[in-house]
Chains A and B, each alone.
Chain A
């Protein structure tokens, strides 16, 4: 059984124009120690999907479907039970290391808190563990840094602290929501390298959210491509990158200039812009921007179907892609 299995997850949010689905029938699985990347344009529902795993949806949101962690349905848990899972079995790091630490508390205190909360560590034991964690995430001179306030650290250092907090309770799954987007390129590489290393060493699962295909390609074994709240294509990273099937994935990847590849005359982009949640087409959410769209795309939600050679894992949800029998 998979460690985490998400089945037909739908999340409706309150918007100024009524309830709108930000996540539509998303399904994926994560094996123990597995790594999954979620890619897609801004607003496609990546963060909402991640937050729903922790039960941290905005006020008034409604989630349906199943999110099973080791067989327990997280959607049916109460707040107290969720608090025992958050930070303990599923930890999350965020995009903005500048704002995800509390400005008025010292670094040390912020790392001690989850240790006390979930592992009951106190005093010297906790202090020792904090130093070990900071050392593990490569923060230079941890003994001095525990007394620093967040504004005294650089962006990369703060993200290391966030990672230390996430690691503190040895979670089964690390959710990383664009962990390197706010950092400059060299630091990005270091932080990704660190995450990779930690995932390999500790055997925890990783869900990495990014709109940077390069980051995804280097880091994870499996990829899910999202558009308009739905997963449109997913599969083993190599497989998927080499045989893009869904028109949206093809457009998304074509929109990325690749170093080395012959430079196209004009950078290809997907026509149109991402519509508002409430304006998304009812069936296939990509129908209004898709060059291949026909009648059926507006009438019937496409089902995920396996494609590609036998023995490989690769699925897509498109009426115009031939499945394998």
Chain B
């Protein structure tokens, strides 16, 4: 992903809640994103209690069936119901995204805030380590972890989480430094507040929007990366459902049964698109300067 430098936002979200909801409802891209992401979360939650068929049950007699009333999306080469697998796969995607983003956000935001508050060599050290970390693509980190501990979803999550630490640390550092230069921070210092109180009382509340936007975009990237890692065989392992592995397994049949590759592909595209639309929409909605222009 391209590292956009510091989205500085005027962050008066708290102050303009009704207005925010009003503008959100009229922001078409944001609403489409909300619907797509909402559908994905709904399917994942539903799959916890109910799926049309078992996503793991192999019925060889039913293999490679086209879409029908009993199998809406058809069946795969082992006769498993594709819709059920997509629904269960959404769980995997969400779990991976949630943990990888939370891990990255909690550690990355802390490091970014620390770097901005301290500046000097603390900042240099944090940023150099994060540069080094970013120089390794997620796939490489995952493969390194796999070499050490064997393949598995935990390693994929860890690899993504580690990568996200750097993403959040840089984004938050940039935004936080901008806040430290603001006059209300100088006023807070002149009132006798220490660095910790200023960081949590003044800097963090004003960059929440930057963090939320980054989180949605990182979530989308995590879904994509989980699919890629599973596709490569270093992500989730059978029989855990995963969109990436569905894609990998459908590859052999791509020429005579292309439709079974379409479903997981569509699921990945739509959920990534949905989260990106939410991220972009939020960026517009929390930035009053952009909002007024449209």
| Residues of A bordering B, CB below 8 Å | 54, 56, 59, 79-80, 83-88, 91-92, 94, 96, 99-105, 113-114, 117-118, 149, 151-152, 162, 165
Bound together, the chains give a CA A162 to CA B189 distance in angstroms of 13
Contact A87 B190 (CB under 8 A): yes
Q: How many residues does chain B have at the interface if contact means C-beta atoms less than 8 Å apart?
A: 25
Contact A104 B183 (CB under 8 A): no
Bound together, the chains give a CA A84 to CA B192 distance in angstroms of 6
B146 → chain A closest CB, angstroms: 43
Chain A positions within 8 Å of B192 at CB level: 83-88, 114, 117-118
* Complex A-B, nearest 4 residue pairs according to Cβ-Cβ distance, in ascending order: A87-B191, A87-B192, A86-B192, A92-B190
Contact B193 A102 (CB under 8 A): no
| Residues of B bordering A, CB below 8 Å | 10-15, 119-120, 182-184, 186-194, 197, 201-202, 205-206
- Contact with B194, one of A59, A83, A94, A103 (Cβ below 8 angstroms): A83
A–B pairs, 26, beta carbons within 8 Å: A54-B189, A56-B189, A56-B190, A80-B194, A83-B193, A83-B194, A84-B192, A86-B189, A87-B191, A88-B192, A92-B187, A92-B190, A99-B182, A99-B183, A102-B202, A102-B205, A102-B206, A103-B10, A103-B11, A104-B14, A105-B201, A105-B205, A113-B193, A117-B191, A149-B14, A165-B187
B173 → chain A closest CB, angstroms: 15
Check A113/B186 contact, CB under 8 A, given A102-B206, A103-B12, A149-B15: no
Contact A117 B193 (CB under 8 A): yes
Contact A100 B187 (CB under 8 A): yes
Check A104/B15 contact, CB under 8 A, given A84-B192, A88-B192, A113-B201: yes
B170 → chain A closest CB, angstroms: 20
The winner among B184, B186, B190, B205 for most chain A CB atoms within 10 A is B190
B150 → chain A closest CB, angstroms: 47
Name B's interface SS: helix
Chain B positions within 8 Å of A59 at CB level: 119-120
Bound together, the chains give a CA A59 to CA B202 distance in angstroms of 19
Q: Which residue of B lies closest to A96 (CB)?
A: B183
Chain A positions within 8 Å of B201 at CB level: 102, 105, 113
Check A94/B205 contact, CB under 8 A, given A83-B193, A113-B193: no
Chain A positions within 8 Å of B186 at CB level: 56, 94, 100
Chain B positions within 8 Å of A83 at CB level: 192-194
Chain B positions within 8 Å of A152 at CB level: 15
Bound together, the chains give a CA A104 to CA B120 distance in angstroms of 28
Q: Which residue of A lies closest to B181 (CB)?
A: A58
Q: Which residue of A lies closest to B119 (CB)?
A: A59
A101 → chain B closest CB, angstroms: 6
Chain A positions within 8 Å of B190 at CB level: 54, 56, 86-87, 91-92, 94
Q: Which residue of B lies closest to A98 (CB)?
A: B183
Chain A positions within 8 Å of B205 at CB level: 102, 104-105
Bound together, the chains give a CA A114 to CA B183 distance in angstroms of 17
Chain A positions within 8 Å of B183 at CB level: 94, 96, 99-100
A77 → chain B closest CB, angstroms: 13
Chain B positions within 8 Å of A149 at CB level: 12, 14-15
Q: Which residue of B lies closest to A80 (CB)?
A: B194
Contact B12 A101 (CB under 8 A): no
- Contact with A102, one of B13, B188, B189 (Cβ below 8 angstroms): B188
Chain B positions within 8 Å of A84 at CB level: 192
Q: Which residue of A lies closest to B187 (CB)?
A: A100
B24 → chain A closest CB, angstroms: 19
Q: Which residue of A lies closest to B185 (CB)?
A: A102
Q: Which residue of B lies closest to A101 (CB)?
A: B184
B46 → chain A closest CB, angstroms: 37
Bound together, the chains give a CA A77 to CA B206 distance in angstroms of 31
Bound together, the chains give a CA A94 to CA B10 distance in angstroms of 20
Contact B184 A99 (CB under 8 A): yes
- Contact with A114, one of B11, B12, B191, B206 (Cβ below 8 angstroms): B191
Contact A104 B12 (CB under 8 A): yes
- Contact with A104, one of B193, B194, B197, B206 (Cβ below 8 angstroms): B206
Check A102/B12 contact, CB under 8 A, given A56-B190, A83-B194, A86-B191: no
Chain A positions within 8 Å of B188 at CB level: 102
Chain A positions within 8 Å of B184 at CB level: 99-103
Q: With A91-B191, A114-B191 given, can you name 13 additional A-B contacts, CB distance below 8 Å?
A: A59-B120, A80-B194, A83-B194, A85-B192, A87-B190, A87-B192, A101-B184, A101-B187, A104-B15, A117-B191, A117-B192, A149-B12, A162-B187
Chain A positions within 8 Å of B191 at CB level: 86-87, 91, 113-114, 117, 165
A115 → chain B closest CB, angstroms: 10
The winner among A87, A88, A103, A165 for most chain B CB atoms within 10 A is A103
B260 → chain A closest CB, angstroms: 50
B13 → chain A closest CB, angstroms: 8
Bound together, the chains give a CA A149 to CA B14 distance in angstroms of 9
